[in-house]
Amino acid sequence: MKTTEQDIRTLRKKAKTWLSSLTYYSTRGKINIRTFSRRLQHLFEPLFKPEIIQKALSDTVPEAIDIKEAVGMKKGIMSRLTPNKVSRRVLSYPEIPAGKAQTDQSPQEFIVKVFPNVSRIYVNFHDSTGCRKLSNEEYYRYPQESTCFLSGICRTLIQGTPEENLSHFMHTGIKALAIVIEMPGLEKEINKLLGQASHLMTKDATKRIKSALKANPDAKDKINIPELKALVLREEAKIGWRKNTETEDIKTLHNSLSPELKEDVYDNEEVIRRSLESVSRKGLFNNLHDALKGQLRPRFIDNIIHSLKSIARVESIWEFDASNLTQDSAASIRKWLFRR
């Protein structure tokens, strides 16, 4: 029976294949955002079933709050709020409705505790940008200063919250979420949100890949090669993203061979198939790296040559000493050739 860890490893491998395929097609200028977002959504859907989420949530919340766990939780949250990590995660900020914090900490004490740092962070942001507020417009105009501001505010608020309160808040939220997960019809809503998230991730990844290729034009030529195309077609068929295209991937690889190697291979599809199977074991993501380093094509050629040697015919050549052919010797040769 497959374990959760095995499922996650399989998902990670397929996600790398998805990213490699997206990168290859980006070099050809043929990106269908809807197609790739659907592919990404289908990868994650099995892990977002309500029953799986319910079990994960129930396993997450312990019976009692441990102070060591609370301290570790606080450190973990703080480590994820550095400017660089905030910059990678922030896309937009929806309006958050105001609400009263349900903690035992006095709001006045909390304000006194965090005010000096919040004031300092705001002054630094204002001095470096001239902005008196932070909206989407200011964020995209001053991304570095804005992420430092957001990171500083979030870290100050987390730092000012006692470990016990933070842990209690997290556990209460998880328990509340576990109750919501049991509501009927939630799977449809989860898939809707997952579809939206997949679309955003695909759009963002495509934008980043195109930007990287524009900055490195040589990489585009190294990726857009028949050998990588054959591997992409093969992996997409294996995962079920397209119909079985074995004939197409074999033909693609065969057409990329030099005239001399084509002559050696003839129409022997088994040699091409063996080579595809052998090279694909490394994974499409790693083969993409090999293509960027100029190593993928030589690996295919070496593999095909090795396969040809393993199935080459062994020819025996009979040589006779030069001598005058006599009636006796001719009879001996005929006797040997037509022996039973």
331 compared with 213, residue with greater pLDDT: 213
Q: Are residues 48 and 82 in the same domain?
A: yes
**Pair (140, 16) in one structural domain:** no
**In the predicted model, is pLDDT for residue 38 greater than 60?**
yes
Residue 16 lies in a domain: yes
Q: What angle do CA 231, 234, 240 make, to 5 degrees?
A: 140
Q: Are residues 174 and 150 in the same domain?
A: no
Burial 92-121 (b: 16+ CB within 10 A, else e): eeeeeeeeeeeeeeeeeebeebbeebbeeb
Give the percent of the chain with pLDDT over 70.
81
| 50/175 same-domain check | yes
Does position 51 have pLDDT exceeding 60, yes or no? Answer: yes
Q: Are residues 193 and 230 in the same domain?
A: no
Per the listing, tokens 């291979």 go with 265
- Report the pLDDT averaged over residues 191-208: 92
Q: Which of 247, 256, 299 is nearest to 275 (CA)?
A: 299
230 and 307 co-located in one domain: yes
Give percent of the chain with pLDDT exceeding 90: 29
Residue 126: give the domain boundaries: 106-160
Contact 235, 17 (CB under 8 A): yes
Q: Where are the alpha helices (DSSP H) in 61-106?
A: 67-79, 83-89
Residues 6+ apart with CB under 8 A from 268: 311
pLDDT band for position 94 (50/70/90)? Answer: very low
Considering the domain architecture, whether residues 234 and 306 belong to the same structural domain is answered as: yes
Both 257 and 301 in one domain: the answer is yes
Residue 303 lies in a domain: yes
User: Residue 143: CB partners within 8 Å, gap ≥ 6?
Assistant: 87
Tally the domains of the chain.
3
Residues 135-152 have pLDDT tens digits of 878 878 888 888 888 888
Give a yes or no: residue 81 inside a domain: yes
Question: Does residue 318 sit within a domain?
Answer: no
- Give me the pLDDT at residue 287, please: 95
In a domain, 320, yes or no: no
User: Between residues 37 and 190, which one has the greater pLDDT?
Assistant: 37
pTM: 0.64
Q: Which tens digits make up the pLDDT trace of 232-288? A: 999 999 999 987 666 888 888 888 888 888 777 766 778 888 889 999 999 999 999
The closest alpha carbon to 150, from 76, 88, 74, 71, belongs to 88
Q: Chain-centre distance of CA 245, in angstroms?
A: 23
Q: How far apart, in whole angstroms, are the C-alpha atoms of residue 250 and residue 271?
A: 10
Residues 207 and 83 in one domain: yes
> Is the same domain home to 200 and 114?
no
Q: Which residues contact 3 (CB under 8 A, 6 or more apart)?
A: none
Span 303-332, pLDDT tens digits: 888 888 776 543 334 444 444 555 555 556
Whether 168 and 56 share a structural domain: yes
In a domain, 179, yes or no: yes
Residue 327 forms part of a structural domain: no
Question: What is the model's pLDDT at position 60?
Answer: 66
Burial per residue of 51-65, b for 16 or more beta-carbon CB atoms within 10 angstroms, e otherwise = eebeeebeeeeeeee
- Provide the 8-state DSSP code for 144: H
Instruction: Give the rounded distance of the alpha carbon of 54 from its chain centre.
Output: 26
Does residue 37 contact residue 199 with C-beta atoms inside 8 Å?
Answer: yes
Residues 21 and 170 in one domain: yes
Q: What is the pLDDT of residue 185?
A: 77
Which tokens hold the place of 148?
């430092």
Q: Is residue 208 part of a domain?
A: yes
**pLDDT tops 70 at residue 97:** no
